[in-house]
Structure 1
Amino acid sequence: MTEYGRGPGSEPWHPEDPLYGDGGWGGQQPSGGQSTYGGQGQYHPQQPQQAQYDDWSTGQQQAYGQQQYGGPGGPEQQYNGGPEQQYNGGPEQQYNGGWDTGQHGQVPYTADPSDPYGNQPGGYGAESPDYYGTPDAYPPPEPPSRRRAAPEPQQDWDPGPDQGEHAFFSGADDDEDENGDEPPGRRGDRRGGRGGKKPKKRRSGCACLVVTLVFAGGLGGVGYFGYQFYQDRFGTSPDYAGEGTGLATVDIPKGSGGYVIGQKLKDAGVVKSVDAFVSAQAQNPDGNTIQEGVYVLKKQMSAKSAVELMLSPKSRNNLIIPEGKRNSWVYNQIDTRLKLDKGTTEGVAKKEWKSLGLPDWANTNKDIKDPLEGFLYPSSYPVAKGQKPEAVLKKMVSHATVKYDELGLKTKAAQLNLKDPLQVLTVASLVQAEGKYKHDFDKVATVVYNRLKPNNTETYGLLDFDSTVNYAKAESTLETGTVDDLRKFNDPYNTYKIKGLPPGPIGNPGDEALKSALNPAKGNWYYFVSINADETLFAETNKEHERNRQKYLEEQKKNSG
């Protein structure tokens, strides 16, 4: 039965086909602990000798436990809690017998300068009075025989050669003797214990130059980046003037924003800078409507001119595939756009179809004439000279696959009593070819599903569609012959002879046909005929359909007279 839904013997008719990602000894000494002999301090007779300096030194600054005290008339004695010499003021008073931690102790209490020990005698080896009211007082008092003048209230310490004896820009004379201002018995004397004065320091003029250069370079870098920041934020972006010369073809991918488009144009020599284009696009009220596609522009255009031309239809060089067009038509259009010999793209499709990205449910029938049929989704595609046919076909197939996944063809096939998603796509292609107007697609889809029912007594499982015969014959005509002649035509796509759906789609259906195939209207219609653009008549029986056909013929006579 044709799209009229004609019954056996009725005249053939077909509406027009529509065009559409340390613990060691050499390490630090613990402060505040007991002596090395474990508890009570040990006394050793004092022996005149050169004061020792930093025997177990860690190279750090000396703590108070290592401070030197010099008695009158004798060499300086060292009280550092070390194994060679210790001072014990009595069994209850110990003097820092552990390791030096390298940390500064607290500043010692100072007594009356005229009598630092309060005129209280203390004998050697006897219990020493607690001069400071605490058993751990520091520093310990000296025996009367070796008293010395009261120490100065501040502690002088030597930071060492690597601890910043004077700063780089301190203003001190490079040739100045570092011990020149030291009082006797302090820093100079201690260094004398190591063999004399420390060598004079001299600064390197080269080091000064390096520091100056680094400083100057830093200022230069800051200035450069500051300028760049100013240019980016407030400066004028480089731009060409005028409408440009020559031609440039630019392919803008789907979903491209202003910066992506601007970079594409800059790479092609159309605009001078990306920022200039983005700025011009933002200033144009329609700037955000620039879509994907191939644009034919001019080189060295002003950004403003480029935006305006891209918004004009005359710059677009896309291949637009209308809804319902067969693959044969699409192949010819690609050949024309790519300046290829006719048949080149079709040959590529037949040879390379397995590598073009078809889903696994495609080409499931051995009688399918073209595995890509139904997968060159109707849309606008950038196709221009220099591209390869397989690249264009891949883009189309990819678009179709994504669309079919979004619509859920795979999950809805069973709900529609169809074998697989390919059959859903085939029904949609029939709806696209047979339905003359989109507002009728839902009911036309219902007619298809009703005729597929094996128990129907109207068509007995035959679709009777002229559109499938035209596809088999690579034709597009209303004059397909009589029903008797059509029954004799032997082809898997002949729905006058073969029950059920054809092996595969007979074209590339659009959105509306796909949605109607997935959501058909409810009804018992088996036939339909379109009287005019506003009215399509649907019938449940052949008798009712014949009356509708008569109305169609009368409408045709009225329009022709």
Structure 2
Amino acid sequence: MIDELDLAFDEHADRTRPRHRRGRGGKKSSGKSGVAFLMAFILLAVLGGGVYFGYNKVKDFFVAADYSGEGTDPVQVTIAKNATLTEIGNTLVDSDVVKSTKAFVNAAGDNPRGKNIQSGTYKMRKQMAAKSAVTLLLDPKSRITSGVTITEGQTSMQIYATLSKATNIPVKDFQAAAKKPVENLGVPDYWFKRRDNKPAATASIEGFLFPDTYEFDPKLNAEQILKVMVDRFLTVTGDMQFADNVQNNLSVSPYEALIVASLTQAEAGVPKDYPKIARVAYNRVYKANMPLEFDVTANYWLELNGKGAKHSGKLTAAEIDDPKNPYNTKSKRGLPLGPIDNPGQAALQGAMQPAAGNWLYFVAIDKAGNSVFTNDYEQHRKNITQACRNGVPLC
């Protein structure tokens, strides 16, 4: 082929210059020249086709695969919290909502609000154009909202009622799911260890259901919902380095500090008093070897037995000092069996970093919930008298 190409180009060369020719006679040379032209044409055609084919391949590589139109069958898709656009695209591809992650990422990038896609569950359609999928994810009407707010200090029983109302899952399902916090809900077993050698409420999830606003996937069951809340608790306390701090700085176990946080949450009228009330608890239990005498533990036992909570002044002596109550802090020394509610981050912080002070007593001094603190019992009695004068229902 190379010889023939040479001949083909020879035909267009300067004919005045002598050259070596392989053929003899003009006729034969002319035939070879025609063949050379034909071969050159075919080669150029092949090369041109290859370039075109290669261009299309490269173009396909850079142009992401995409569906067209508004989609077909409805489907629910859950976008995880803090998911990147690529992670969202992968989720949509897995549900056959978009054809490729790249198409979705490109469409989101072209949309001025593309980075504003929120976590949650959405009503989507299968096989949508990526641009249409982005538009639907940014439409508030597409989002299935099931926001549930759990407030600080709610007990597990109160939380079950709140969750049941929001999800239509029976309370008994939550109660059943909560019976094995370690095995079923992911509470690490070290959280139930105590340094004071007292038993722990190992069959209770109390204290581990972190107060927050949640948007649960509608497909979750009771156990999965409680696990989401436990995971949130572990994340928050992990970020705070709660376990390390209380063990290293206070010489108490994380479980004991969690109990103090729950007591603080229940007793304090205002958040600023959390660190001081926590200090009173630590002082009475670990320094003065005194009973806590926190009335809130009596109320918790009443609730566990299906009875309503009462103001401190309305509790009877038998209710405050019930010998059957494992949460009794009137006559039993030390911390109770376990947490009595689910404390928020501020109460956890107060238990982790209690205020410095030698206080042993406190009382809410006004209707706003502010407390006064002292280490002198006679002064404490005077503070109670003043609280009663201020209309606090203690007397």
Same fold by TM-score, threshold 0.5 exceeded? yes
- Select which of 312, 320, 327 maps to 1:486: 320
Give the distance between the partners of 1:170 and 1:550, measured in 2 at CA.
121
- For residues 112-127 of structure 1, what are the structure 2 equivalents within 5 Å? none
Q: Identify the residue that residue 438 of structure 1 maps to in structure 2.
A: 271
Supply the AA of the counterpart residue of 1:251: T
1:325 equivalent to 2:162? Answer no
What RMSD over aligned residues (CA atoms) do the two structures have, in Å? 4.3
Taking a change above 3 Å as real, the CA distance of residues 429 and 166 of structure 1, as seen in their structure-2 partners, is farther
Identify the structure with bigger relative contact order (alpha carbons < 8 Å, sequence gap 6+): 1
Q: Unaligned stretches of 5+ in structure 2? A: 11-19, 24-34
Q: Identify the residue that residue 28 of structure 2 maps to in structure 1.
A: none
Give the distance between the partners of 2:262 and 2:337, measured in 1 at CA.
12
Tell me the TM-score normalized by structure 1: 0.53
Q: Identify the residue that residue 549 of structure 1 maps to in structure 2.
A: 384
Q: Identify the residue that residue 309 of structure 1 maps to in structure 2.
A: 140
Give the distance between the partners of 1:302 and 1:315, measured in 2 at CA.
16
Q: Identify the residue that residue 523 of structure 1 maps to in structure 2.
A: 357
Taking a change above 3 Å as real, the CA distance of residues 519 and 507 of structure 1, as seen in their structure-2 partners, is same
1:258 equivalent to 2:69? Answer no
SS at 1:532 equivalent: coil
- For residues 89-128 of structure 1, what are the structure 2 equivalents within 5 Å? none
Aligned-residue offset at 1:256:
1.0
Q: Identify the residue that residue 278 of structure 1 maps to in structure 2.
A: 108
Taking a change above 3 Å as real, the CA distance of residues 266 and 483 of structure 1, as seen in their structure-2 partners, is same
Give the distance between the partners of 1:297 and 1:388, measured in 2 at CA.
20
Supply the AA of the counterpart residue of 1:330: I
Residue-pair matches, total: 354
Identity of aligned residues (%): 26
Taking a change above 3 Å as real, the CA distance of residues 166 and 427 of structure 1, as seen in their structure-2 partners, is farther
Supply the AA of the counterpart residue of 1:356: L
Q: Identify the residue that residue 504 of structure 1 maps to in structure 2.
A: 338
- For residues 24-423 of structure 1, what are the structure 2 equivalents within 5 Å? 166=3, 171=8, 181=22, 215-223=48-56, 225-226=58-59, 229=62, 240=70, 249-261=76-88, 264=91, 274-275=104-105, 278-279=108-109, 283-284=112-113, 288=115, 290-292=117-119, 294-297=120-123, 303-304=134-135, 306-309=137-140, 316-351=145-180, 353-364=182-193, 366-368=199-201, 370-423=203-256
Q: 1:363-409 deviations in whole A, cap 9, x for unaligned? A: 33645163432222223333233223333333332232232232223
Supply the AA of the counterpart residue of 2:172: G
Taking a change above 3 Å as real, the CA distance of residues 278 and 172 of structure 1, as seen in their structure-2 partners, is closer
Supply the AA of the counterpart residue of 2:372: L
- For residues 18-29 of structure 1, what are the structure 2 equivalents within 5 Å? none
Taking a change above 3 Å as real, the CA distance of residues 384 and 405 of structure 1, as seen in their structure-2 partners, is closer
Supply the AA of the counterpart residue of 2:146: N
Supply the AA of the counterpart residue of 2:300: Y
1:296·1:317 contact (CA, 8 Å) conserved in 2?
no
Give the distance between the partners of 2:255 and 2:319, measured in 1 at CA.
29
Give the distance between the partners of 1:247 and 1:180, measured in 2 at CA.
77
Give the distance between the partners of 2:281 and 2:164, measured in 1 at CA.
35
Q: Unaligned stretches of 5+ in structure 1? A: 1-163, 174-178, 183-201
Supply the AA of the counterpart residue of 2:262: S
Taking a change above 3 Å as real, the CA distance of residues 317 and 521 of structure 1, as seen in their structure-2 partners, is same
- Select which of 249, 257, 266 maps to 1:424: 257
Q: 1:234-285 deviations in whole A, cap 9, x for unaligned? A: xx99675xxx9998644221221234345546766888962476247x524x
Q: Identify the residue that residue 450 of structure 1 maps to in structure 2.
A: 283
Q: Identify the residue that residue 87 of structure 1 maps to in structure 2.
A: none
Give the distance between the partners of 1:442 and 1:363, measured in 2 at CA.
23
Supply the AA of the counterpart residue of 1:322: T
Aligned-residue offset at 1:471:
2.2
Supply the AA of the counterpart residue of 2:8: G
Aligned-residue offset at 1:347:
0.9
Higher helix residue share: 2
Q: Identify the residue that residue 120 of structure 1 maps to in structure 2.
A: none
SS at 1:350 equivalent: coil
Aligned-residue offset at 1:411:
2.2
SS at 2:391 equivalent: helix
